[in-house]
Amino acid sequence: MTSSHKTERLKLSTFAADRLERSRQAAPQVFERLREMIISLSLTPGTVLNRLTLQQEFGLSSTPIRDALLRLQEEGLVDIFPQHATVVSPIDLTVAHQAHFLRRSLELEIVRTLALAPGPRLLARLQGFLVQQQTLLEAADFEAFSIADQAFHQHLYEVAKMNEMWALVRSRSGHIDRLRRLHLPTPGKAQEILRQHRLIVQAIADGQPEEAQKHLRHHLSGTLANLDRLRAKYPGYVRS
């Protein structure tokens, strides 16, 4: 076994340690776990995913593994070469820009809607997210901070009754989310995310839709504004 395969197997073993829920279908669970590993860059672009290894680590037959990989392919997160290999895809900048456009368009309208009629339950919940993110920031837990960041935005969709739109955005955002994950450990980046979240929440609380939109627009543009720096630092991870 090559060193790269040993590393992949170690990562998969750690991630597959928790048993799959028997009450749920296996393929969606494998998809979610592999997707999380790809988005978090535990499985980096170019990593070969060996199907037999996946079967052994998850204790499954070939069918759910195949189905999970096909879903990852649909999201552009893996490239499947029939009879050869399945490889974690590089970050596609064209797809990342498209996902950014989609998310920005939706969330600008969402924060505007929420700022026009802010409610105490919404504001209390958003403040709770801010407290959680502050705690994770102080612990320098970037993985959990990233998850909390996504949860903050997901809640905006839920309150605006746009749950299906969040599912759409999530399914299109694998490439931009990986760019954001590369950017997150940059000194000051997590602090800036939290600061912008606070500004968005304050604008919603104050009933100022234009201010909420202004802060959201700035918030979502940060990673793409640093694209050249990220490409230079991680040249093997990105394709135009």
Residue 82 has what pLDDT? Answer: 84
Look up residue 171 and give its two tokens: 């399914």
Residue 10 has what pLDDT? Answer: 53
How distant, in Å, are the alpha carbons of 6, 128, 134, 153, 195 from that of 198? 43, 11, 11, 13, 5
Mean pLDDT of 86-91: 96
The H or E element that residue 99 is part of is helix 93-116
Residue 18 has what pLDDT? Answer: 63
What is the pLDDT confidence band of residue 239, given thresholds at 50, 70 and 90?
confident
Could you count the other beta carbons within 10 Å of the beta carbon of residue 108? 17
Residue 12 has what pLDDT? Answer: 62
Among the listed residues 176, 200, 199, 180, the one whose alpha carbon sits nearest the alpha carbon of residue 190: 180
Query: Residue 180: is its pLDDT beyond 80?
Result: yes
Distance (Å, whole) CA 33 – CA 38: 9
Could you count the other beta carbons within 10 Å of the beta carbon of residue 185? 10
User: How crowded is the C-beta side of 94, counted as CA atoms within 13 Å?
Assistant: 3
Distance (Å, whole) CA 180 – CA 220: 10
Mean pLDDT of 62-89: 94
Query: Residue 80: is its pLDDT beyond 60?
Result: yes
Q: 145-154: per-residue pLDDT in tens?
A: 999 999 999 9
Q: 151-168: per-residue pLDDT in tens?
A: 999 999 999 999 999 999
Residue 21 has what pLDDT? Answer: 78
Query: Residue 72: is its pLDDT beyond 60?
Result: yes
Q: Reduced to 3 DSSP states, what percent helix, strand and coil does the chain have, rounded to the nearest 5? A: 70, 5, 25
Q: Domains plus CATH for the chain?
A: 3-89 (1.10.10.10), 92-239 (1.20.120.530)
Residue 22 has what pLDDT? Answer: 75
Q: What sign does the dihedral 42-175-99-189 (CA atoms) show?
A: positive
Mean pLDDT of 37-64: 94
Residue 83 has what pLDDT? Answer: 80
- Please give the model's pTM, rounded to 2 decimal places: 0.88
Q: 5-25: per-residue pLDDT in tens?
A: 555 555 665 555 566 777 788
Distance (Å, whole) CA 1 – CA 4: 8
User: How crowded is the C-beta side of 55, counted as CA atoms within 13 Å?
Assistant: 9
Q: Is residue 45 within 8 Å of residue 239, measured between CB atoms?
A: no
Between strands 91-92 and 238-239, the pairing is parallel
Distance (Å, whole) CA 98 – CA 102: 6
Among the listed residues 90, 12, 61, the one whose alpha carbon sits nearest the alpha carbon of residue 1: 12
Distance (Å, whole) CA 121 – CA 114: 12
